[in-house]
């Protein structure tokens, strides 16, 4: 079964045609439209075994324009490979969706109803769903939810210390996000090590989150009621004194304050950019604001790493993933530097040039393994989609 996977994020759209049970090369064709909304927006297409195509410039393209370019490329490719189902990443499933579900009008309405919990993401996830239902009306389509992996959080981890009526009547609680990625990292790390593990997974990109995983089960995570809580992100503030939110709401109004926290904060708020590649370059060139942003970003990750170490008690491995976690050696080094008393020691050469899908970065003296694992949310979504479609197929 070949599955088309659509992953609409806050600044990118990833897609892939995946054979979930393909042992060696499960991804047949893939692409990413990145830096959306910026002058450097572009579409990159990859077909294993073929020469890499030059990126297609999409200056200033939004998600609609990127989808049009993406599906034009896919239509050309479909002449060679049939697609049996479509799997969609959906950020927020609330408590209604703890497992992947077949998409129908009722599911679409439910996802739309959860937009207030993920205002940057659920509308974009719905965009991908709506376009695919129009372009591929005869294919089964499945929603795979980022929040599902975190349904194992214990009450003391997901409840906030607010009036009980807020939880009972409004559903105010920690939901957690990036669950598909964290589940994949946990499964991949355990398979690589050959035993159950206590893990701290760090999924670092334009959106970023940390997760404490005990023997494959999520017990705590950094994102909360929405994807705004936790680590400093590309344009999101992460942890913030609630009084700051109240002040901003009084002075700017609710809508403008919300926009500022979601789109104008984080790294962008600190130094004017949300792209860590550019920020690291500017920091190396001596720009003070960029250097401060890098230090603050890494310090927040270190803070959560230490907190989750305490939650787990013992840690077998720390896993870096995501666009930043996989590619920014300087960030990994800053996060781990000085944590020798926790048993974490990086090997400078391995960190500077990791090799393979799973790359060990720790030194021989490190009690805790440090791994860089390439995120493959598309494969995880394709597997979930194929399993559900097969389970619901007529005998």
Active site residues: 146
Contacts 24+ apart (CB under 8 A), 18-23: 18/378, 18/379, 18/382, 19/382, 20/379, 20/382, 20/383, 20/385, 20/386, 21/386
Distance CA 357, CA 188 (A): 10
Taking every pair of Cα atoms in the chain, the longest distance, rounded to a whole number of angstroms, is: 65
**Spatial distance between the Cα atoms of 4 and 138, rounded to a whole number of angstroms:** 13
Residues with Cβ within 8 Å of 185's Cβ and at least 6 positions away in sequence, in order, are 199, 201, 203, 319, 321, 373, 375
CB 45 within 8 A of CB 53: yes
Cβ pair 373, 319 in contact under 8 A: yes
Angle between helices 288-312 and 276-284 (to 10 degrees): 120
Strand-pairing partners, residue 46, are 30
Residue 27 CA to its chain's centroid (Å): 19
Burial class (CB in 10 A: 0-12, 13-18, 19+), 33: buried
Is there a contact between 34 and 12 (Cβ–Cβ < 8 Å)? yes
Q: For residue 358, give the 3-state DSSP assignment.
A: strand
């Amino acid at each position: 079964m070949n599955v088309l996977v659509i992953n609409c994020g806050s600044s990118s759209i990833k897609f892939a045609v995946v054979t979930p049970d393909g042992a060696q090369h499960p991804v047949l064709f893939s692409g990413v439209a990145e830096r959306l909304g910026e002058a450097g927006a572009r579409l990159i297409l990859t077909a294993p075994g073929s020469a890499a195509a030059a990126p297609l410039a999409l200056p200033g393209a939004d998600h609609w324009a990127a989808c049009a370019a993406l599906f034009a490329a896919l239509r050309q490719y479909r002449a060679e490979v049939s697609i049996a189902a479509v799997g969609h990443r959906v950020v927020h499933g609330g408590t209604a969706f703890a497992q992947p579900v077949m998409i129908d009008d009722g599911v679409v309405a439910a996802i739309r109803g959860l937009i207030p919990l993920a205002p940057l993401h659920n509308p974009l996830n719905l965009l991908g769903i709506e376009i695919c239902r129009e372009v591929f009306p005869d294919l089964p389509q499945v929603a795979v939810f980022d929040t599902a992996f975190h349904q194992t959080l214990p009450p003391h981890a997901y409840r906030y210390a607010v009036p009980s009526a807020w939880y009972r009547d409004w559903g105010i609680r920690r939901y957690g996000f990036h669950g598909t990625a964290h589940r994949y990292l946990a499964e991949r790390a355990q398979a690589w090590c050959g035993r159950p593990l206590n893990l701290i997974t760090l999924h670092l990109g334009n959106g970023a989150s940390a997760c404490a995983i005990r023997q494959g089960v999520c017990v705590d995570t950094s994102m909360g009621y929405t994807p705004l809580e936790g680590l400093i992100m590309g344009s999101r503030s992460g942890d913030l004194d609630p009084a700051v939110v109240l002040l901003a709401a009084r002075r700017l109004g609710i809508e403008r304050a919300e926009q500022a926290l979601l789109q104008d904060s984080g790294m962008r708020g600190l130094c004017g950019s949300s792209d860590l590649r550019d920020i690291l370059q500017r920091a190396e060139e001596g720009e003070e604001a960029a250097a401060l942003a890098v230090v603050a970003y890494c310090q927040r990750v270190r803070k959560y790493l230490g907190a989750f170490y305490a939650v787990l008690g013992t840690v077998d491995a720390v896993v870096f993933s995501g666009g930043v976690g996989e590619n920014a050696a300087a960030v990994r080094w800053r996060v781990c530097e000085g944590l020798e008393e926790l048993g974490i020691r990086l090997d400078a050469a391995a960190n500077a040039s990791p090799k393979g899908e799973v790359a060990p970065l720790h030194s021989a003296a490190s009690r805790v393994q440090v791994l860089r694992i390439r995120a493959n949310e598309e494969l995880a979504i394709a597997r979930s989609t194929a399993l559900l479609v097969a389970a619901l197929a007529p005998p």
